[in-house]
Amino acid sequence: MKAAIIGVGVMGSAIASRLLDVGVQLQVFDPVPGKAEPLVERGATAAASPGEATAGAEFVITSLNNANTVEQAVFGEEGIALAANPDKVLIDMSSIDPRRTAGMAARLLEQTGMGWVDAPLSGGAPAALAGTLTLMIGGDEQHVQHALPLLDYLSRNRTHMGPSGAGQTVKLINQILCANYFMAVTEAVRFAEDNGVDATRIPAALAGGRADSRILQEYMAKMARRDFTPTGRIDNMLKDLETIEVASVTQLPVTDRIAELHRMLVTVGLGASDSAEYIKLFDIMPS
């Protein structure tokens, strides 16, 4: 199996590592020089452009930060479209706007015959490395079926939600829930600390109850210990919350307020920080 990955940041490199582990022949490209070098040392081949990476691959994964970057990688100079054909499928694992996804998918199919599957993910880099991602999938059925042999290596739970853009819509729903959970856990940690309770013990105390969640189990003790080991970026969540603000027909008062809190964190320089650093919100909010 031959695949290409365009964008090898935290998530892209984890996806690439997993595919190398299972024996996929991999070409990688990242616009930042040298970023792909650790993957090359593990057996991947570096490509000089997205188009060059696509030329030797059946599956092309994009893992990029926003819709503009995805569009440039696909349709820009030396982009994926230059080497596209109906025998290949693009799997976009970025988290971007659903409507732009649908438009780009239609354009790529019309111009080249190459299918587009939007497959945004949940579970982060640890799940990618383990091959246990949750994927929310959009696209034509034939293109989704084409992509499944590769997605089998990366995911444990995947659901085809509908046409192009449907996967991205469900990803935004995932982010509404996650952003709310993160803020709830942040407030709970502070409330525990203010009242003399060891917040690191709360996940075990609440395990299996209605308040339990993976975010509670993974992040409450991490926040309480002020363990800011990178696992996810605050500015990536803000990017998705701002996409939700644009895409939403109805006002979402709780999510809108949480987006404002994220903007506050990013404004003071915490955008690139780990999600556990939500706890620093109390250091910057007016008393």
Tell me if 170 sits within 8 A of 135, measured CB to CB: no
Is 2 an annotated catalytic residue?
no
Beta-sheet pairing, 45-46 with 25-29: parallel
User: Annotated catalytic residue: which of 88, 171, 222, 239?
Assistant: 171
Strand partners, 89: 59, 115
Residue 43 CA: distances (Å) to CA of 19, 28, 40: 11, 10, 5
Dist. CA 12–CA 201, nearest whole Å: 34
CB 43 within 8 A of CB 26: yes
Taking the CB of residue 39, how many other CB atoms lie within 10 A of it?
23
Instruction: Kindly list the catalytic residues.
Output: 171
